[in-house]
Amino acid sequence: MSQQAIGILGGTFDPIHNGHLRLAQEALEQCSLDAIRIIPSGTPPHRNGLHANAQQRLAMAKLAVQDNPAFVLDEREIHRAGPCYTVDTLTELRAELGAQRPLCLLMGGDAFLQLHTWHNWKQLFELAHIAVMQRNGRPLGNAIEQADTSLRDEYRARLAPAPQAVHESPAGSILVLDMPTLEISATAIRNRCAQGGSLRYLVPDAVAHYIQSHHLYTGIC
């Protein structure tokens, strides 16, 4: 398959941090992807109580990707009214990028283990591959044994032998990628802000400056 392969990383990005960016970079390199679309969510179906508003989350994501030409900010979910489901976003991207283009939805192991709770989750495999980051010391193969039965069945049926399998078909495989553990979460970053701590080396400098100058996350405990 000679079509360029595209990775897709969605998230609330409240705020975007180095764990997200490293995840995207690992996928880019391990799967030989051509670009990663970074897609901040609008109104997430699973999450209430976001802290920064949509425009602020978008602005931070823009600052975070500005130095990496392979990372492309995709604003579509931010501008969508009502709940936004990943399956709808992938349907749009598939229509825009063509039926033969390998698409690869990226996520952390924690997100993958909840995949069966996502809207029309089995349809995701008709639209994209799914690349799951397995963090050091937390093999996905062990965690999947405790997971939902239907998720486990999909995992076993779709597991590809290597990350490069993304280039063999447009969609349908599960790829497990290794990633160094970066114990960074947006929750921990928000809490650190509330306590007046530094965000240096947890988020890109430009994002840290944005958070500071807009006084984001200062009142959260």
Residues within window 121-180 making contact with ligand ATP, judged by CB under 6 A: 133
Q: Which stretch binds ligand ATP (CB under 6 A): 18-26, 67-75, 80-88, 123-131?
A: 18-26
Q: Does 108 bind ligand ATP (CB under 6 A)?
A: yes
Task: State the first-to-last Cα distance of the chain, in angstroms, to the nearest integer.
Answer: 50
- Cβ 108 to ligand ATP, closest distance in Å? 2
Task: Considering the complex, state which of residue 131 and residue 171 has its C-beta at the smaller distance from ligand ATP.
Answer: 131
- Cβ 19 to ligand ATP, closest distance in Å? 2
**DSSP one-letter code for 116:** G
Q: Does 23 bind ligand ATP (CB under 6 A)?
A: yes
The answer to whether the peptide bond before residue 163 is cis (omega within 30 degrees of 0) is no
Q: Which stretch binds ligand ATP (CB under 6 A): 11-19, 27-35, 146-154, 166-174?
A: 11-19
- Cβ 217 to ligand ATP, closest distance in Å? 11
b/e for 113-146, b at 16 or more Cβ within 10 A? bebeebeebeebbebbbbbbbbbeeeebeeebee
Task: Considering the complex, state which of residue 135 and residue 167 has its C-beta at the smaller distance from ligand ATP.
Answer: 135
Nearest to 82 by CA among 115, 44, 53, 123: 44
Q: Does 111 bind ligand ATP (CB under 6 A)?
A: yes
Sheet holding 129-135: strands in order across? 71-73, 35-40, 6-11, 103-108, 129-135, 174-179
Q: What angle do CA 47, 52, 53 make, to 5 degrees?
A: 85
- Site residues, ligand ATP (CB under 6 A): 11-14, 19-20, 23, 107-108, 110-111, 133, 182, 184-187
